[in-house]
């Protein structure tokens, strides 16, 4: 039993995977995107995005330490043509934030109001590198229970392992709780000082994830119709967030002297599959 618990703890602490690596070209369509936000407006477009605050009171998954604020400039704003998601070390209050759950950090989590699906995604971003940071670009469907509902992680990086980005798929049969998640990782030495295009090509027969026009992960659909292996057959919502700490992000602790931490997104573009 002790060995089993240790194995589960290790799986939880390393949510990435390295078993589906590839090296291949992938190119964004040359046509106009079906959905795009260039973040040129003075404020976050709340017709395109909503703020997810659903678990503030009870606490977020993976033992993360942040409170996700709704439409608060300190945590989500547009500056010089980029969306800045900023994590801050601060104590809030229930007088101003009724759903505050006692967290010592604040941040933001944005979700597309429009569910998206098969097609090509490109999110140009610069990542935070501070210990305790956990930025992510990912997708979840509406409704369902995790992991059976499926999760597509286009990009995740933890600050204690800065410069290594991860692409991962989770489903009922393949997920980090079982240690069977499918994905790959890529070393990006300037991930925190330069913008890169984090990309997804989602098709019925395969999911390919890469960066700057080069794929580094591909998972084929080898079990069509098997929801345990491949639930990725309905529209999902795109999510941008910056978590603090947690089982993976906080594996090496949180550097409280490094706040604020900033996750910068230059643009989001999506081309629906024809």
Please confirm, yes or no, whether 130 is among the known catalytic residues: no
Q: What does the alpha-carbon distance between residue 182 and residue 153 come to, in Å, rounded to a whole number?
A: 10
Q: How far is CA 171 from the centre of its chain?
A: 16
DSSP for the chain? -HHHHHHHHHHHH-----SSEEEEE----SSPPSEEE---SSS--TTTEEE--TTTTT--GGGB-EEE-SS-TTTEEEETTEEEEEEEE----TTT-TT--S-SEEE-EEEESS-B-SEEEEEEEE---STTEEEEEEEE-SSS-TTTT-EEEEEE--GGGTTEEEEEEE-SSS-TTTT--EEEEEE-TTTTTS-EEEEEEEETTEEEEEETTEEEEEEE--STT-TTT----S-BEEEEEEEEBHHHHTTT---TTS-SEEEEEEEEEEEE--
Please confirm, yes or no, whether 148 is among the known catalytic residues: no
Would you call 271 exposed, middle or buried from its count of C-beta atoms within 10 A (0-12, 13-18, 19+)? buried
Residue 78 is encoded by which pair of tokens? Answer: 């547009």
Cα–Cα–Cα angle for 107, 128, 13, rounded to 5 degrees? 80
Which residues are identified as catalytic? 151, 156
């Amino acid at each position: 039993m002790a060995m089993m618990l240790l194995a589960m703890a290790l799986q939880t602490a390393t949510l990435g995977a390295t078993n589906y690596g590839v090296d291949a070209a992938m190119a964004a369509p040359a046509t106009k995107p079906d959905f795009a936000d260039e973040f040129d407006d003075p404020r976050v477009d709340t017709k395109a995005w909503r703020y997810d605050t659903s678990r503030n009171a009870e606490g977020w998954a993976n033992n993360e330490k942040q409170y996700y604020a709704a439409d608060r400039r300190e945590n989500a704003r547009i500056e010089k043509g980029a969306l800045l998601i900023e994590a801050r070390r601060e104590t809030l209050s229930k007088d101003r934030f009724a759903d505050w759950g006692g967290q010592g950090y604040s941040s933001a989590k944005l979700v597309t109001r429009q569910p998206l699906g098969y097609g090509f995604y490109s999110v140009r971003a610069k990542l935070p590198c501070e210990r305790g940071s956990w930025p992510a670009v990912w997708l979840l469907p509406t409704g369902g229970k995790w992991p059976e509902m499926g999760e597509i992680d286009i990009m995740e990086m933890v600050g204690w392992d800065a410069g290594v980005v991860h692409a991962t798929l989770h489903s009922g049969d393949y997920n980090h709780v079982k240690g069977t998640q499918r994905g790959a990782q890529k070393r990006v030495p300037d991930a925190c000082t330069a913008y890169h295009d984090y990309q997804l090509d989602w098709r019925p027969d395969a999911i390919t994830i890469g960066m700057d026009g080069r794929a580094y992960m591909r998972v084929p659909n080898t079990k069509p119709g098997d929801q345990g292996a491949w639930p990725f057959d309905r529209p999902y919502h795109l999510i941008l967030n910056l978590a603090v700490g947690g089982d993976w992000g906080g594996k090496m602790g949180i550097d409280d002297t490094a706040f604020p931490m900033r996750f910068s997104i230059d643009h989001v573009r999506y081309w629906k599959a024809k």
